[in-house]
A and B are shown apart, each in its own frame.
Chain A
Amino acid sequence: MRAAVAVEEKIVRVLGEDGRVDKSIDPALSESELLKIHRAMTFNRTMDERMVKLQRQGRIGFYIGSMGEEAAIVGAAAAMGKNDWLIPCYRELGAALWRGLTLREFVCQLFGNSEDPIKGRQMPVHYASREKHILSVSSPVGTQVPHAVGIAMAARIRKTDEVALVFFGEGATSQGDVHVALNFAGVFKAPCVFLCRNNQWAISVPRERQTASESIAIKAKAYGFDGVKVDGNDVLAMYAAARDAFAKARKGGGPTLIEAMTYRLGPHSTSDDPRVYRLDDEVEQWKRNDPIARFRRYLQKQGLWDEAREEKLLQEVNDEIASVVREVEKLPGPTVDTMFGDVYAAMPWHLREQSEELISFGKSRDSKAELKK
């Protein structure tokens, strides 16, 4: 007998926009947990602001941020268990830091310098951490989603209780890879939590152009598992929905698709100008529903937060970021020979040959200077 699957038409919401709480589904987090979540979201936002400036100053080549989606990102990550796996898209800095990626590792990656854990191999915001169970960020949209299902299937084969959490945007749901991944997850009952950040825009293409379906969450039904639509700007609702999905997956109940209803307040990346394709009014309207401000109102109402504390936090966060940037910006780039490492476990003859060829020329800027002589 196939169990009936539930797709909630109703949006899961804990926090009213006024800071009031729906007690029936409030995850009842402790004061320190609430403050940790607030700090993580604030950190994510501040990082984005600072890194965009760094990019504008030409100090890093590219940046892609999370502005407006911090609740969806941090809320879900906060519900993860110790050994669970994070399979990020490219907007999940808040989740990666929550899971233990260090700020220094992340900033070194942005610079692609000698201490970049991925050795300068990818453009900014494409971090990875095996130790923290964070997969490698890839740019093609949706390719990471089947990997998450594979991780989840393997965890089951190895009889652990690990769960995979995979992020993707609503644009990715048009990709074959995402369909295939959802389908495999349903068939194998993989312990996987699919987190779709429905931020309404895939660069310039609105959500209506991605699917004629009434929602993303409803698609789960066709794959044979639960779909749930959550107010993605409500960090408590995101936490509660993810926590339930993790618990279900851990008990052998299979996957869940969470659709986080949110909005990309910023551009797609530093290479984008959204004023060309969307109305300021729409952005302004979503800004009034800023997930961090909304959560802060709640904390204030609880007596856990005030302006003085906010000011102090921002100061701390800014200082921490500035000091890490200062430290790592001085580091040199990777040496030329590292280009040829990690293609294979051991370097085959043709790469050895090519490496020697390149090294004989020295670094490219040296050789340009030489040509001018």
Chain B
Amino acid sequence: MNMIQAVNDALRVEMERDDRVVVMGEDVGKFGGVFRATQGLYERFGEERVFDTPLAEAGIIGTAIGMALYGLRPVPEIQFADFIYPAFDQIVSELAKYRYRSGGQYFCPMVIRTPYGGGIKGGHYHSQSPEAYFIHTAGLKVVVPSNPRDAKGLLISAIRDDDPVIFMEPKRIYRAAKGEVPEGDYSVPLEKAELVREGSDCTVIAYGSMLHTAQEAVDLAESKGIHCDLIDLRTLLPFDIESILQSVKKTGRAVVVHEAPRTCGFGAELSASIHEKALLYLEAPVARVTGFDTPFPYSLENEYLPDPRRILAGIQGTLSF
């Protein structure tokens, strides 16, 4: 099963199980979504629970908030993460804050699914990784799967969660990442990272499509006799600090990888947290391998995105410090 099929399967499982779950967005109905993630749901669950909306992201999220307040569990799709900004106010000031500002009387169980990231020749408007804006927002959870098994299991957990979740799907590996996915009801817990590779020399932390790039880098390092822990973060907010510290205290080195720009990117938070909580275990400063502080370029996207060479250089840098 690929990522798209896994997402589709998760939606189907949850919609079968819980009639409060509704899917909404642009082109998600009969057409099944521009990436086909909602294919077949309209036919199975009907137009009351799977519906196309007018083309307005603020309206999709704004009305979904009302539905969630009422007691439904909407799963709106924002077609590309680059188009999420018209809904930014509704997400950060309304959705994220509703539980808090109503003194816990109301809550907004909602999962905003949105494909993100570069590597598909999409240029500035189809490639961005805006996770840091949402990680900076109290009240949201931010989840990024890197493989089909997690895409299904995490999405199911996100839908069952009583807090709003931004579920960012790495579209570059939508079809490329394939793997076994358990059938039927199956979940992967939020807020838990996964150690996907064990080694003693350096900790590499990545998520989403960068997990695969980091894996290549870790393989290269292995061939040079450098053994790395590779952590797939999976949930970025709240992130699994325990798994990170456990690994870093063992290896004494860490490299954080993401394709979003560097300044105030999520790597900055991870780096600061590691320094604050494990400074005396560190052999070298935490390294960041990230996208650059430029708009996302079109022709030079392969140069913009972290690649195995840059990640390997980051790993080697922590060893030669």
The answer to whether A and B belong to the same complex is yes
Which residues of chain B are near A117, meaning CB under 8 Å?
103, 105
Which residues of chain B are near A148, meaning CB under 8 Å?
66
State in angstroms the CA–CA spacing of A129 and B104 once bound together. 10
CB within 8 Å for A187 and B107 given contacts A150-B70, A154-B72, A343-B139: no
State in angstroms the CA–CA spacing of A91 and B139 once bound together. 27
Which stretch, A8-16, A203-211, A257-265, A344-352, touches the partner chain B? A344-352
State in angstroms the CA–CA spacing of A153 and B102 once bound together. 22
Which residues of chain B are near A242, meaning CB under 8 Å?
none
Which of A146, A176, A349 makes the CB contact (< 8 A) with B241?
Answer: A349
Asked if B133 is at the interface (CB within 8 A of a chain A CB), the reply is no
Asked if B49 is at the interface (CB within 8 A of a chain A CB), the reply is yes
CB within 8 Å for A151 and B67 given contacts A143-B93, A180-B59: yes
A220-261 interface with B by 8 A CB criterion: none
* Least CB separation from A350: chain B residue: B238
Which residues of chain B are near A350, meaning CB under 8 Å?
238, 241
A346 to chain B, nearest CB (A): 9
B138 to chain A, nearest CB (A): 5
Kindly state the interface size class of chain B when it binds its partner: 35 or more
Asked if A17 is at the interface (CB within 8 A of a chain B CB), the reply is no
Which residues of chain A are near B98, meaning CB under 8 Å?
136
B100-127 interface with A by 8 A CB criterion: 100-107
Tell me whether B59 and A146 are in contact (CB under 8 A): yes
From A116, A126, A129, A154, residue with most partner B Cβ within 10 Å: A154
Tell me whether A153 and B58 are in contact (CB under 8 A): no
CB within 8 Å for A154 and B66 given contacts A138-B94, A143-B93, A177-B58: yes
CB within 8 Å for A143 and B238 given contacts A157-B22, A180-B58: no
CB within 8 Å for A184 and B139 given contacts A135-B69, A154-B67, A157-B49: no
State in angstroms the CA–CA spacing of A349 and B90 once bound together. 26
Asked if A118 is at the interface (CB within 8 A of a chain B CB), the reply is yes
Kindly state the interface size class of chain A when it binds its partner: 35 or more
Asked if B222 is at the interface (CB within 8 A of a chain A CB), the reply is no
Which residues of chain A are near B61, meaning CB under 8 Å?
146
Asked if B218 is at the interface (CB within 8 A of a chain A CB), the reply is no
* Least CB separation from A150: chain B residue: B66
Which residues of chain A are near B246, meaning CB under 8 Å?
none
B136 to chain A, nearest CB (A): 12
Tell me whether A154 and B71 are in contact (CB under 8 A): yes
Which residues of chain A are near B90, meaning CB under 8 Å?
143, 146, 177
Tell me whether B65 and A146 are in contact (CB under 8 A): yes
Asked if B48 is at the interface (CB within 8 A of a chain A CB), the reply is yes
CB-defined interface of B27-54 with A at 8 Å, one 1/0 digit per residue?
Answer: 0000000000000000000001100011
Which residues of chain B are near A151, meaning CB under 8 Å?
66-67, 69-70
Tell me whether B107 and A140 are in contact (CB under 8 A): no
From A118, A151, A153, A345, residue with most partner B Cβ within 10 Å: A153
Asked if B206 is at the interface (CB within 8 A of a chain A CB), the reply is no
Asked if B63 is at the interface (CB within 8 A of a chain A CB), the reply is yes
A357 to chain B, nearest CB (A): 12
CB-defined interface of B206-238 with A at 8 Å, one 1/0 digit per residue?
Answer: 000000000000000000000000000000001
Which of B67, B104, B106 makes the CB contact (< 8 A) with A153?
Answer: B67
Which residues of chain B are near A119, meaning CB under 8 Å?
103-104
B29 to chain A, nearest CB (A): 13
Which residues of chain A are near B89, meaning CB under 8 Å?
140, 143, 177
Which residues of chain B are near A37, meaning CB under 8 Å?
none
Asked if A122 is at the interface (CB within 8 A of a chain B CB), the reply is yes
Tell me whether A140 and B93 are in contact (CB under 8 A): yes
* Least CB separation from A122: chain B residue: B101
CB-defined interface of A99-135 with B at 8 Å, one 1/0 digit per residue?
Answer: 0000000000000000011110110001011110001
Which residues of chain B are near A176, meaning CB under 8 Å?
58, 86
Tell me whether B62 and A150 are in contact (CB under 8 A): yes
* Least CB separation from B71: chain A residue: A154
State in angstroms the CA–CA spacing of A148 and B67 once bound together. 9
Which of A154, A158, A342 makes the CB contact (< 8 A) with B103?
Answer: A342
Asked if B191 is at the interface (CB within 8 A of a chain A CB), the reply is yes
Tell me whether B105 and A181 are in contact (CB under 8 A): no
* Least CB separation from A128: chain B residue: B102
CB within 8 Å for A345 and B105 given contacts A149-B66, A153-B63: no
State in angstroms the CA–CA spacing of A147 and B98 once bound together. 11
A118 to chain B, nearest CB (A): 4
Tell me whether B104 and A184 are in contact (CB under 8 A): no
Which of A116, A118, A150, A341 makes the CB contact (< 8 A) with B67?
Answer: A150
A117 to chain B, nearest CB (A): 5
Which residues of chain B are near A155, meaning CB under 8 Å?
70
From A138, A158, A344, residue with most partner B Cβ within 10 Å: A344
Which residues of chain B are near A150, meaning CB under 8 Å?
62-70
Asked if B162 is at the interface (CB within 8 A of a chain A CB), the reply is yes
Asked if B310 is at the interface (CB within 8 A of a chain A CB), the reply is no
Known A117-B105, A149-B63, A180-B56; further 20 A-B contacts with Cβ < 8 A: A121-B101, A122-B101, A130-B106, A136-B101, A140-B89, A143-B62, A143-B89, A143-B90, A147-B62, A150-B65, A150-B69, A151-B70, A153-B67, A154-B67, A177-B59, A183-B54, A184-B56, A342-B100, A344-B238, A350-B238
7 examples of A-B residue contacts, CB within 8 angstroms: A119-B104, A128-B101, A129-B105, A138-B93, A146-B66, A150-B67, A341-B104
- Residues of A that sit less than 8 Å from B by CB: 85, 116-119, 121-122, 126, 128-131, 135-136, 138, 140, 143, 145-155, 157-158, 164, 176-177, 180-181, 183-184, 187, 341-345, 348-350
Please give me the 6 A-B residue pairs with the lowest Cβ-Cβ distance, nearest first. Answer: A150-B66, A146-B62, A118-B103, A348-B238, A154-B70, A180-B59
- Residues of B that sit less than 8 Å from A by CB: 22, 48-49, 53-54, 56, 58-59, 61-72, 86, 89-90, 93-94, 98-107, 138-139, 141, 161-163, 191, 238, 241-242
